[in-house]
Amino acid sequence: MLALCCKRLYLFIGDSLHTHTRRLAHSKFHTSIRFQKHIDRDNGPLTLAKVGFGCETEITKNKKPKAFAANLESGVKVPSIKTKIPKAKLKQVEKNPIDPNSAPFAPKTFSELGLSPHLLETLEREGLSLPTDVQSTAIPTILRGHDVIIQSYTGSGKTFAYLLPILSRVGPLKEAQNGEGVTETRCIEAVIVCPSRELGMQIVREAEKILGPQNRKVVQQLVGGANRSRQEEALRKNKPIIVVGTPGRIAEISASGKLHTHGSRFLVLDEVDQLLSFNFREDMHRILEHVGRARSNTQAKRVERQTILVSATVPFAVLRAARGWGRDPLLVRAKTVLSLDSALALGSLSPSPSSSAITQAAIESLPPSLKHYYCITKLQHKVDTLRRCVHAINALSVIVFMNHTKQLKDTVFKLEARGIKAAALHGDLSKLERGTTLKNFKSGELRVLVTNELSARGLDVPECDLVVNLDLPTDSVHYAHRAGRTGRLGRKGSVVTICEEPEEFVVKKLERQLGIPIFACEFTEGQLVLQNNEKKVLEQASVGNSL
Ligand SMILES: Nc1ncnc2c1ncn2[C@@H]1O[C@H](COP(=O)(O)OP(=O)(O)OP(=O)(O)O)[C@@H](O)[C@H]1O
């Protein structure tokens, strides 16, 4: 019975939250003290309270189960629950109202997260009915107006974790469910920044997938390498509501006065740890200063901009930046929401940028289902070992990482000479060449994509079943981001590092730092053969995994 009440409660929560927040859509959101108190509890299971539902005083004082939705603004009452539970039964519910602090928040569908009905229909149409863990936690927290840092392992659905609440609040899906037509005076309400063109175009595609072909003009890409005057023309003509781009191009067009983001309500920094690197510093400073800032000739008050930072790895620098860029940002992970202070207190974020903190972040970013191997060979035999590895694992979609762009072409040439369809992806390619290469790889026309670190950040090719390090990654974070290109959203995936004898100690160091077994193997007669006692270790490890 209680479970049924919970279920109905969640559904009404979604509606009441939605109705409620719709009314508050333009009013000031701020973290209610009560909400902070909830989430600063221990790092226990995710509860209604921890994602912002539930106000004890309303329950204990009146002993009546009111809609579980924290007052986002004092004095604003949430609509009381219009439950369908028969009167007699309601008595029972009144007798033991659900305590939001202990009621587990374990939504099974998107409809329990407070997204707009129109958006839910679209997700259904796209065959997306089940939120991932990080989406279940991030979506209600963002809908409640909080600044957040979203951290979850690669391929766990972080893009939708921020896109869906934004599309629920701005653009045609929000207006459509108000029954209003699309208003004429559209301004840029969300700015999404990412470090690479590929990731930028991928985010645009994910947004277009949800918005549908009739709303293609709502999102505009502003990535480097594309034709700037065409982008400026599109901004003027289409009046997009969401822009997605790389820091340099966004800052450049903003400085030219052709990009007006002072009214933007959302700023998303995807792969934020990369965006903090030195070469983006100036552009990022401009973006942070302008997005969601009223023009100087009006009141220089900042609109209620929500700042959303996203990455699989959240080193201390991100933590420090988040404090300065946001208001009481919350650390959102799969099944947990923590304030930064309690994250530090619980040791889940180290205050010092020590290597252990960075490695900890890398460990958390690794998809759990991956199998890791390494194979020793001579430098001149690396490409042939790669060929044998691809055949032994029978991989159909392989991403190969190298550290220097000039080596990529040579590797592609050698693979093609051995009958494997391959192509290189790197920054020197034109936008068209990169797009075509990615399209051919995703369609399966190309079996191997040889690339470097930056082009691959956030790259999402669900079919990728093998990642090969032909050059060693520089540290555990790079290893983790490379590995995360496979095993997307819980799929199986293998990671093979091909190195020379003198480099074996580096692999062993990565194995210790990441706390994962990386099995020594070789590829003979079309098989992956484990070295000496690795077989036993692998059996133990797989038993461990299956437990
Ligand atoms: N709830 C869902 N149900 C089904 N598929 C989903 C869901 N959420 C996301 N996906 C798909 O899973 C894939 C990975 O999502 P996404 O790229 O957002 O992961 P990520 O965590 O951002 O990865 P990375 O850290 O590499 O950027 C995408 O193809 C996306 O369309």
**Which of 14-28, 106-120, 156-170 bottoms out in mean pLDDT, i.e. has the lowest?**
14-28
Indicate if 304 and 413 belong to the same structural domain. no
Atom of ligand 1 nearest to the CA of 459: 26
pLDDT at residue 467 tops 50: yes
Beta-bridged to residue 374, according to DSSP, are 497, 520
Atom of ligand 1 nearest to the CA of 460: 17
Highest mean pLDDT among 59-73, 108-122, 389-403, 475-489: 389-403
With H, G, I as helix, E, B as strand and everything else as coil, classify residue 264.
coil
Number of domains in the chain: 3
Indicate if 164 and 272 belong to the same structural domain. yes
Indicate if 296 and 424 belong to the same structural domain. no
Domain membership of residue 31 (yes or no) is no
Indicate if 67 and 195 belong to the same structural domain. no
Confidence band, pLDDT 50/70/90 cuts, at residue 366: confident
Domain membership of residue 101 (yes or no) is no
Alpha carbons 465 and 488: distance in angstroms, whole number: 9
Whose alpha carbon is nearest atom 8 of ligand 1?
A: 157
Alpha carbons 495 and 487: distance in angstroms, whole number: 10
Q: What is the mean pLDDT of residues 462-474?
A: 95
Domain membership of residue 268 (yes or no) is yes
Alpha carbons 453 and 18: distance in angstroms, whole number: 40
Whose alpha carbon is nearest atom 16 of ligand 1?
A: 157
Distance (angstroms) between ligand 1 centre and the Cα of 157 equals: 3
- Domain boundary, last residue among 51, 86, 121: 86
Q: What is the CATH number of the domain that holds 540?
A: 3.40.50.300
| Tens digits of residue pLDDT in 130-177 | 999 999 999 999 998 999 999 998 889 999 999 999 999 998 888 544
According to DSSP H, which parts of 444-520 are helical?
Answer: 453-456, 476-483, 504-514
Share of the chain above pLDDT 90, in %: 48
Kindly report the average pLDDT of the chain as a whole number: 79
Distance (angstroms) between ligand 1 centre and the Cα of 287 equals: 26
Whose alpha carbon is nearest atom 30 of ligand 1?
A: 157
| Tens digits of residue pLDDT in 318-333 | 888 888 887 889 999 8
Confidence band, pLDDT 50/70/90 cuts, at residue 179: low
Domain membership of residue 5 (yes or no) is no
Domain membership of residue 138 (yes or no) is yes
pLDDT at residue 26 tops 80: no
Distance (angstroms) between ligand 1 centre and the Cα of 154 equals: 8
Domain membership of residue 102 (yes or no) is no
Domain membership of residue 34 (yes or no) is no
Distance (angstroms) between ligand 1 centre and the Cα of 203 equals: 10
pTM given for the model: 0.74
Domain membership of residue 534 (yes or no) is yes
Position 38 scores a pLDDT of 53
pLDDT at residue 262 tops 80: yes
Instruction: Give the amino acid at 180.
Output: E
pLDDT at residue 499 tops 90: yes
Q: Name the residue of 160, 206, 482 whose CB sits within 8 Å of the most ligand 1 atoms, as the mutation to test its pocket.
A: 160
Indicate if 359 and 372 belong to the same structural domain. no
Position 108 scores a pLDDT of 75
Confidence band, pLDDT 50/70/90 cuts, at residue 485: very high
Indicate if 160 and 186 belong to the same structural domain. yes
Indicate if 137 and 252 belong to the same structural domain. yes
Indicate if 120 and 256 belong to the same structural domain. yes
Distance (angstroms) between ligand 1 centre and the Cα of 462 equals: 8
> 520: domain range?
366-546
Indicate if 446 and 540 belong to the same structural domain. yes
Do residues 165 and 266 lie in contact, with contact meaning Cβ atoms separated by under 8 Å?
no
Instruction: Tally Cβ neighbours within 10 Å of residue 383.
Output: 23
Distance (angstroms) between ligand 1 centre and the Cα of 162 equals: 11
pLDDT at residue 85 tops 50: no
Indicate if 205 and 299 belong to the same structural domain. yes
Alpha carbons 37 and 353: distance in angstroms, whole number: 28
Q: How far apart are the first and last CA of the chain?
A: 32
Whose alpha carbon is nearest atom 11 of ligand 1?
A: 157
Whose alpha carbon is nearest atom 25 of ligand 1?
A: 154
Atom of ligand 1 nearest to the CA of 130: 1
Report helix, strand and coil shares of the chain as percent, to nearest 5: 45, 15, 40
The DSSP code sequence of 406-455 is: HHHHHHHHHHHHTT--EEEE-TTS-HHHHHHHHHHHHHTS-SEEEE-HHH
pLDDT at residue 265 tops 50: yes
Confidence band, pLDDT 50/70/90 cuts, at residue 373: very high
Distance (angstroms) between ligand 1 centre and the Cα of 127 equals: 13
- Which protein residues touch ligand 1 with a CB less than 6 Å away? 128, 130-132, 135, 152, 154-160, 206, 312, 458, 460, 462, 484, 488-489
Q: What is the mean pLDDT of residues 62-70?
A: 36
Whose alpha carbon is nearest atom 22 of ligand 1?
A: 158
Distance (angstroms) between ligand 1 centre and the Cα of 380 equals: 37
Confidence band, pLDDT 50/70/90 cuts, at residue 13: very low
Who's near 454: CB < 8 A, 6+ residues apart?
A: 195, 196, 274, 427
- Domain boundary, last residue among 309, 330, 364: 364
Q: What is the mean pLDDT of residues 477-493?
A: 90
Q: Is the model more confident about 97 or about 394?
A: 394
Q: At what angle do helices 133-143 and 158-169 cross, to 10 degrees?
A: 30
Distance (angstroms) between ligand 1 centre and the Cα of 164 equals: 12
ipTM for the predicted complex: 0.97
Indicate if 385 and 341 belong to the same structural domain. no
Instruction: Tally Cβ neighbours within 10 Å of residue 327.
Output: 16
pLDDT at residue 352 tops 70: no
Atom of ligand 1 nearest to the CA of 135: 1
| β-sheet with 190-193: strand ranges across | 219-222, 242-245, 190-193, 266-270, 306-311, 148-151, 330-333, 336-339
Indicate if 433 and 344 belong to the same structural domain. no
Numbers of helices and strands, H then E, in the chain: 23, 16
Whose alpha carbon is nearest atom 3 of ligand 1?
A: 128
Residue whose C-alpha is closest to residue 495's, from 469, 471, 472: 469
Q: What is the mean pLDDT of residues 104-124?
A: 84
Position 39 scores a pLDDT of 54
